[in-house]
A and B are shown apart, each in its own frame.
Chain A
Amino acid sequence: MSLIPRAAPAASMAFAGRDPAVISLLKMLPLLLLLTFSSAAAPPAAASPSAVHNNNWAVLVCTSRFWFNYRHMANTLSLYRTVKRLGIPDERIILMLADDMACNPRNNYPAQVFNNENHQLNLYGDNVEVDYRGYEVTVENFLRVLTGRHESAVPRSKRLLSDEGSHILLYMTGHGGDEFLKFQDNEELQSHDLADAVKQMKEKHRFKELLIMVDTCQAATLFSQLQSPGVLAIGSSMKGENSYSHHLDSDIGVSVVDRFTFHTLAFFEKLNMYSNASLNSLFNSYDPSMLLSTAYYRMDLYKRALNEVMERYIYF
Chain B
Amino acid sequence: ARALMMPPSTARRLCFLSLLLLLLLLAAAASATADAAAAEEFTEELLLRPLPDRKALAHFHFRSSAPPASAAGRHHHLFPKAISQLVQKFHISELELSFTQGRWNYEQWGGYDPMSTNNAKPPGVELWAIFDLPLAEIDATWKNLTHTLSGLFCASINFLESSTAFSAPRWGFKLNEGNLRYGALPREAVCTENLTPWLKLLPCRDKAGIASLLYRPSVYKGYYHSQKLKLKSSQSLGIILDQTLTVVLQPNTVSGKQLHSTGGQLQPSWSMEHLFSKKLSGKCLVSKSSRVFVEIEKGIVDNVDKAGSDVSSNNDLFVLSTAPDRSLKELDNLEVQSSSLYEYDVNNYNSDKPLNVGITWKLPLIWSCTRAPYHASRFLMGSGNERGSIAMSFLSTGLDKQLVDSSNDCSIKAVVFQVVPWYVKVYYHSLEVFIDGNSKAISEVVDKIHVTPSEDKLLPGTMEMLLKFPCSMQLATLTLDFDKGFLHIDEYPPDANQGFDIPSALVSFPEFNSSRSYPEADPLFVSPLLENFKEDGVVKSYTEVLLVPLTTPDFSMPYNVITFTCTVLALYFGSLLNALRRRIGEEERGLKKLLLGNCNLHCFSLNLKC
Across the interface, do A154 and B193 meet the contact criterion of CB distance under 8 Å?
no
Across the interface, do B191 and A103 meet the contact criterion of CB distance under 8 Å?
yes
Q: Choose one: B161, B197, B217, B494; the contact of A129 (CB below 8 Å).
A: B197
**Contact residues on A (Cβ < 8 Å of other chain), bracket:** 20 to 34
Across the interface, do B154 and A111 meet the contact criterion of CB distance under 8 Å?
no
* Contact A128/B193 with A110-B221, A133-B154, A135-B494 known, Cβ cut-off 8 Å: yes
Across the interface, do A153 and B143 meet the contact criterion of CB distance under 8 Å?
yes
Across the interface, do A130 and B193 meet the contact criterion of CB distance under 8 Å?
yes
* Contact A131/B154 with A65-B495, A110-B221, A154-B147 known, Cβ cut-off 8 Å: yes
Q: Choose one: A109, A124, A134; the contact of B188 (CB below 8 Å).
A: A134
Which of A155-163, A224-232, A235-243 is near enough to bind chain B?
A155-163
* Contact A153/B161 with A126-B206, A133-B155, A133-B156 known, Cβ cut-off 8 Å: yes
Q: Choose one: B158, B220, B221, B494; the contact of A184 (CB below 8 Å).
A: B494
> How many residues on B have C-beta within 8 angstroms of the other chain's C-beta atoms?
32
Tell me how far the C-beta of B65 lies from the nearest C-beta in chain A, rounded to whole angstroms: 25
Across the interface, do A111 and B494 meet the contact criterion of CB distance under 8 Å?
no
Across the interface, do B189 and A103 meet the contact criterion of CB distance under 8 Å?
yes
Alpha-carbon distance A259/B134, docked complex (angstroms): 58
Contact mask for chain B residues 125-156; partner A; CB cutoff 8 A; 1 contact, 0 none: 00000000000000000011001101110111
Residue of A nearest to B161 (CB): A153
Across the interface, do A158 and B193 meet the contact criterion of CB distance under 8 Å?
no
Is A307 part of the binding interface, using a Cβ–Cβ cutoff of 8 Å?
Answer: no
Is A127 part of the binding interface, using a Cβ–Cβ cutoff of 8 Å?
Answer: yes
Residue of B nearest to A105 (CB): B101
Is A2 part of the binding interface, using a Cβ–Cβ cutoff of 8 Å?
Answer: no
Is B347 part of the binding interface, using a Cβ–Cβ cutoff of 8 Å?
Answer: no
Across the interface, do A133 and B148 meet the contact criterion of CB distance under 8 Å?
no
Residue of B nearest to A185 (CB): B494
Alpha-carbon distance A315/B217, docked complex (angstroms): 32
Across the interface, do B217 and A111 meet the contact criterion of CB distance under 8 Å?
yes
Residues of B within 8 A of A158 (CB): 150-151
Is B176 part of the binding interface, using a Cβ–Cβ cutoff of 8 Å?
Answer: no
Is A100 part of the binding interface, using a Cβ–Cβ cutoff of 8 Å?
Answer: yes
Most buried by B among A111, A126, A129, A130: A111
Across the interface, do A103 and B154 meet the contact criterion of CB distance under 8 Å?
no
Alpha-carbon distance A5/B237, docked complex (angstroms): 65
Q: Choose one: A109, A134, A184; the contact of B156 (CB below 8 Å).
A: A134
Across the interface, do B151 and A124 meet the contact criterion of CB distance under 8 Å?
no
Across the interface, do B216 and A126 meet the contact criterion of CB distance under 8 Å?
yes
Across the interface, do B151 and A111 meet the contact criterion of CB distance under 8 Å?
no
Contact mask for chain A residues 23-37; partner B; CB cutoff 8 A; 1 contact, 0 none: 000000000000000
Residues of A within 8 A of B495 (CB): 65-66, 185
Is B361 part of the binding interface, using a Cβ–Cβ cutoff of 8 Å?
Answer: no
Residues of A within 8 A of B101 (CB): 103
Residue of B nearest to A104 (CB): B189
Most buried by A among B188, B189, B206, B493: B189
* Contact A128/B192 with A103-B220, A185-B494 known, Cβ cut-off 8 Å: yes
26 A/B residue pairs, CB under 8 Å, sorted by A: A102-B191, A102-B192, A103-B189, A103-B192, A103-B220, A110-B217, A110-B221, A111-B216, A124-B191, A124-B192, A124-B216, A126-B216, A128-B192, A128-B196, A133-B154, A133-B189, A134-B156, A134-B189, A135-B494, A153-B144, A154-B151, A154-B158, A155-B151, A157-B151, A158-B151, A185-B494
Give the interface of A toward B (CB within 8 A): 65-66, 100, 102-104, 109-112, 124-131, 133-136, 153-158, 184-186
A100-B189, A100-B191 given; 19 more Cβ-contact pairs under 8 Å: A65-B495, A102-B191, A103-B101, A103-B192, A124-B192, A126-B196, A127-B196, A133-B155, A133-B193, A134-B156, A134-B188, A135-B156, A135-B493, A135-B494, A153-B143, A153-B144, A153-B158, A154-B147, A155-B152
Give the interface of B toward A (CB within 8 A): 101, 143-144, 147-148, 150-152, 154-156, 158-159, 161, 188-193, 196-197, 206, 216-217, 219-221, 493-495, 555
